[in-house]
Amino acid sequence: MKTFILVLAMTVLPGLALAAAPGVPLDTMEPDHTNKASLQRGAAMFTNYCMGCHSLEYARYQRIANDLGIPEDMYVENLIFTGAKIGELIKIGMDKQQAASWFGNAPPDLTLESRLRGENWIYSYLRGFYKDDSRPLGVNNVVFENVGMPHVLVEMQGLCAVKPTIGQQSSVDPLSGNVKNAGVCSEWASEGTMTAQEFDTAMYDLTNFLSYMGDPVKVERERLGMFVLIFIAIFFVFAYLLNREFWKDVH
Ligand code: HEC
């Protein structure tokens, strides 16, 4: 009994610790790895706006192209700017030490970021930048205080003059893609090219892509799981009949 309680405690407690981890309130998003259009938009956005600083060095271009249904020649033409071959890992040229001296911290690799922080965190973080003149780059983030990353999407989103109200209002409906209660920012220092709703949808796609990146076999695993369950169900009938046959004469 003692061992049982100990095992139970050891199974449950780490889960509780994880659940309690995020200290700031977050907006929620429901990743959907079957939504290829969303993942493709996310991949394009990541390549164009993030890969200058962040690598995905545990993944290969080819894997993304195949998983997301992007023809390989089209991928090479439009989404590889470094002259890398499609079978290569997604590394970047930025020197980590130099980057650390520019930004305070080197931009980390983001292949497993969704496993580390969770999708809600990334989705909130990307929408959490605001103007703060006391910081070296003039911006801060409500989810990641005193972050070293510049607000690279400022042209799209605009620059919020006050702290955005993350974790209090907006969320994306995964089925329709509609944003409920859009507008985390009540006052803008500068306007962006996108409306709040368009920007939230773009950040949904980008987060969805990073979520896929952290668990690229999810769809395949779930598909295979279905077949395994169907096999077990059918196998059960035969096992049951065989069992009945064996025990028929034993009485
Ligand atoms: C100009 C370089 C630069 C670009 C471009 C850039 N980042 Fe960053 N990013 C950084 C730096 C530097 C950090 C580390 C900040 C720190 O630790 O203070 C960072 C941190 C992050 C983190 C948090 C990592 C962690 O868990 O500590 C995420 C998530 C992230 N970036 C996502 C993105 C996404 C998505 C894009 C594209 C829209 C992007 N970044 C574009 C420089 C950049």
Residue range 173-221, pLDDT digits in tens: 777 776 655 568 889 999 999 999 999 999 999 999 999 999 999 999 9
Whether residue 234 lies inside any domain: the answer is yes
Both 87 and 201 in a single domain? Answer: yes
CA of 152 to the centre of ligand 1 (A): 9
pLDDT averaged over every residue in the chain: 91
* Mutation to probe ligand 1, out of 46, 53, 142 (largest number of atoms < 8 A from CB): 53
Q: Cα–Cα distance between 226 and 237 in angstroms, integer?
A: 17
- In this structure, the residue with its CA closest to atom 16 of ligand 1 is 148
Radius of gyration of the CA atoms of the chain, in A: 23
Query: Can you give the pLDDT at residue 140?
Result: 96
pTM summary value: 0.85
Both 226 and 194 in a single domain? Answer: no
Nearest-atom number in ligand 1 for the CA of 102 is: 12
Both 228 and 119 in a single domain? Answer: no
Both 67 and 122 in a single domain? Answer: yes
CB environment 219-229: b (16+ within 10 A), e (fewer): eeeeeeeeeee
- 195 touches 31 (CB < 8 A): no
Quote the number of domains for the chain.
Answer: 2
Whether residue 142 lies inside any domain: the answer is yes
Both 161 and 103 in a single domain? Answer: yes
CA of 244 to the centre of ligand 1 (A): 62
Model confidence band, residue 24 (pLDDT cutoffs 50, 70, 90)? confident
* Mutation to probe ligand 1, out of 119, 149, 155 (largest number of atoms < 8 A from CB): 149
Residue-number span of the structural domain to which 191 is assigned: 21-215
Whether residue 15 lies inside any domain: the answer is no
First to last CA, the chain: 36
Both 187 and 234 in a single domain? Answer: no
